[in-house]
């Protein structure tokens, strides 16, 4: 009656062993480390490790271990002093030459054989591991304004193609279209409506004018796009810098949280994350008579020029950018997407031997004090960094010059990672030291230990040997939670530890229901073996109902919560799933092995 087939016993044992293997890396402590990432985004191989080790040894420090992980070189050290010395040496060599990025971080002291199996400890959140926290605000008005500017240029082009003489201009949040004759008004209105049916078409000031306005749904969609695009771009930028395990997520309507666990030097990250540099390629208006042309200032050593309104290609069409040298000068080698390449091809075909300029655009926010009150203002700078004559026809690959080596490298990084859909400004920055993170870890796991020991003591006293079986399942449950967190690389935070503590208490609920049911069966006169069988079978529905409802609540918390709430929901959900397995299948496997083949006079419960 209470016997599992051998294959099922082996399956349960195998699952336990696999869980223990995946949880194994978490027993090793973290140590100071330095990560080096290639500036061009290419992965390092093991052959390069000797070069890094030799360089830091020349600085008087010896790494405790050195290896390649996710394409980045990792050098571990025994002390923070050695870490800082090695980082300075590596930066002097690679960052100054703009061939690599160096980041100070913390790495687990895993043996080579553990790393060789591809095992990793669970990811620790910022509050446990220490690191850098940025809260960034997205400039939503600029995101909407850029869309309106796009509409302005698009409508101007459409009207010109249809030979409708009209003037298109922006008036606050409206696109104003004014035609030359009444007979063109309806045709112009239909063109605008066909270009985007969701736009609101309004009457103008007179019979020759009408207005187009974005709807509320369009404005919200544009704002959501700006947030999502910026999140993607920021993730790419962090990856380009060689920072591992970043967390970039939306917070509220217009803010983005960037958490970089383990990072200890935020200065350069600050500049790269908030940089809004991008490029536009425009033809020079030699006559100065083209509609919409305006004058742009040149960077030092570059002449100012009047440029045409039409953008040949822009930063959001760049799919790759690498810094290097061309004829001895720093250069950025650009690759455009299909649309940008077609536009560039058409432009170069039609404008041979004519000049084209590269416009560098940067937006920043600075604080000013007026009448004793500090206010912030947005400054947008647009300057020509390069003007060259089109000498040949090209499409999606070309180069720009006119930059210093540092500017070329940083611009290539930003363009390669993607352009921001709207500027972002730093609202808050916090640096959490590793000592504070260690203190949080110690307190959190102390809470888990105390909760675990109290539950173990209660179960052992109240349910005797069956209680000890439940305690084995409870320990296995903790192992499985840690193993799943390691496999999924879900960040463990302080609220996540709270979820584990709660799971410790909940994990024995199923066994309490089973053991009480066994007691009731014994009291009703059932046989010991029959009582055990009935206890597990009859308690199953109650256990499933209780855990499923809690799991639904955890899923809802994860779906609608942010940050700490998600961390709590993750560990709670995993704990519910693993506790169902350990409390029902795990404990019954042990009970069947110990008591299943015996004649029992009584059940020690």
Task: Please list the residue range(s) of the chain that carry CATH number 3.30.70.260.
Answer: 30-109
Averaged pLDDT, 240-265: 75
Task: Supply the Cα-derived Rg of the chain in whole angstroms.
Answer: 32
Topology, domain 278-403: Gyrase A; domain 2 (3.30.1360)
82 vs 371 pLDDT, higher one: 82
Q: pLDDT per residue over 563-581, tens digit each?
A: 678 888 888 899 888 988 8
Averaged pLDDT, 364-369: 66
Residue 151: is its pLDDT beyond 90?
A: no
Task: Please list the residue range(s) of the chain that carry CATH number 3.30.1240.
Answer: 141-219
CATH of domain 6-24+436-595: 1.20.1640.10
Cβ atoms of 531 and 1 closer than 8 Å = no
User: Which of 57-66, 171-180, 400-409 comes out lowest in average pLDDT?
Assistant: 400-409
Q: pLDDT per residue over 26-75, tens digit each?
A: 888 888 888 888 866 678 888 888 888 888 888 888 998 899 887 888 99
pLDDT score for 22: 92
Residue 245: is its pLDDT beyond 70?
A: no
Q: Is the pTM of this model over 0.85?
A: no
Say if strands 72-76 and 100-108 run parallel, antiparallel, or are unpaired: unpaired
Secondary structure of the chain: what % helix, strand, coil (to 5)? 50, 25, 25
Distance of CA 114 to the CA centre of its chain: 26
pLDDT score for 269: 67
Highest mean pLDDT among 121-135, 220-234, 345-359, 554-568: 345-359
Token couple for 130: 């220490």
Tally the C-alpha atoms within 13 A of residue 493's C-alpha that lie toward its C-beta.
Answer: 19
Topology, domain 141-219: 3.30.1240
Separation of alpha carbons 262 and 292, rounded Å = 50
Percent of the chain with pLDDT over 70: 90
Residue 60 is classified by DSSP as T
90-102 in b/e form (b: 16+ CB < 10 A) is bbebbbeebebbb
CATH of 30-109, one of 3.30.420.40, 3.60.21.10, 3.40.190.10, 3.30.70.260: 3.30.70.260
Burial (CB < 10 A; 0-12, 13-18, 19+), residue 384, is: buried
Task: Please list the residue range(s) of the chain that carry CATH number 3.30.1360.200.
Answer: 278-403
Task: Please list the residue range(s) of the chain that carry CATH number 1.20.1640.10.
Answer: 6-24+436-595
pLDDT score for 283: 92
Separation of alpha carbons 477 and 479, rounded Å = 5
């Amino acid at each position: 009656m209470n016997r599992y087939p051998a294959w099922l016993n082996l399956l349960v044992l195998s699952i336990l062993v696999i869980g223990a293997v995946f949880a194994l890396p978490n027993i090793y402590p973290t140590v100071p480390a330095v990560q080096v990432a290639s500036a061009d985004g290419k992965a390092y191989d093991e052959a390069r490790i000797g070069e890094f080790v030799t360089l830091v040894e020349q600085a008087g420090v010896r790494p405790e271990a050195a290896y390649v992980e996710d394409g980045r070189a990792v050098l571990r050290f025994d002390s923070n002093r050695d870490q800082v010395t090695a980082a300075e040496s590596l930066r002097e060599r690679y960052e100054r030459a703009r061939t690599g990025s160096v980041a100070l971080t913390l790495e687990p002291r895993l043996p080579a054989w553990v790393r060789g199996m591809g095992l990793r400890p669970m990811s620790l959140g910022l509050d446990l591991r220490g690191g850098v926290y940025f809260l960034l605000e997205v400039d939503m008005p600029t995101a909407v304004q850029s869309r309106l500017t796009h509409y302005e240029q698009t409508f101007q082009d459409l009207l010109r193609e249809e030979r409708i003489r009209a003037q298109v201009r922006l008036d606050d949040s409206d696109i104003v279209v004014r035609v030359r004759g009444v007979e063109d008004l309806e045709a112009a209105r239909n063109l605008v409506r066909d270009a985007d049916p969701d736009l609101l078409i309004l009457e103008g000031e007179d019979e020759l004018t009408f207005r187009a306005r974005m709807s509320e749904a369009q404005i919200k969609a544009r704002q959501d796009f700006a947030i999502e695009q910026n999140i993607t771009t920021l993730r790419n930028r962090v990856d380009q810098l060689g920072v591992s395990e970043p967390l970039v997520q939306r917070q509220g309507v217009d803010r983005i949280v960037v958490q970089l666990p383990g990072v200890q030097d935020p200065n350069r990250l600050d500049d790269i994350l908030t940089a809004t540099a991008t490029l536009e390629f425009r033809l020079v208006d030699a006559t100065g008579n083209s509609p919409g042309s305006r004058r742009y200032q040149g960077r030092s050593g570059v002449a100012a020029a009047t440029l045409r309104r039409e953008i040949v290609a822009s930063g959001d069409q760049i799919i790759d950018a690498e810094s290097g040298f061309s004829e001895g000068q720093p250069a950025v080698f650009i690759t455009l997407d299909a649309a940008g390449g077609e536009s560039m091809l058409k432009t170069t075909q039609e404008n041979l031997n004519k000049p084209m300029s590269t416009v560098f655009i940067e937006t920043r926010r600075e604080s000013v004090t007026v009448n004793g009150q500090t206010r912030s203002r947005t400054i947008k700078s647009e300057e020509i960094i390069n003007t060259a004559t089109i000498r040949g026809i090209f499409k999606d690959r070309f180069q720009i010059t006119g930059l210093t080596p540092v500017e070329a490298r940083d611009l290539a990084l930003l363009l390669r990672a993607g352009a921001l859909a709207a500027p972002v400004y730093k609202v808050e920055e916090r640096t959490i030291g590793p000592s504070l993170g260690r203190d949080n870890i110690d307190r959190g796991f102390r809470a888990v230990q105390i909760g675990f020991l109290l539950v173990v003591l209660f179960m052992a006293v109240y349910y005797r040997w069956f209680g000890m079986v439940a305690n084995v399942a409870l320990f296995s449950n903790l192992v499985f939670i840690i193993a799943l967190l390691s496999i999924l690389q879900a960040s463990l935070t302080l609220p996540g530890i709270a979820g584990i503590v709660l799971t410790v208490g909940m994990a024995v609920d199923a066994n309490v229901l089973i053991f009480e049911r066994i007691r009731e069966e014994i009291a009703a006169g059932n046989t010991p073996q029959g009582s055990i069988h009935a206890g597990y079978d009859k308690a199953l529905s109650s256990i499933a109902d209780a855990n499923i409802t809690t799991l639904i609540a955890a899923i809802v918390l994860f779906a609608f919560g942010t940050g700490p709430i998600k961390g709590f929901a993750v560990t709670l959900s995993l704990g519910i799933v693993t506790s169902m397995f350990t409390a029902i299948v795990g404990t019954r496997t042990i009970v069947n092995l110990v008591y299943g083949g015996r004649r029992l006079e009584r059940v020690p419960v």
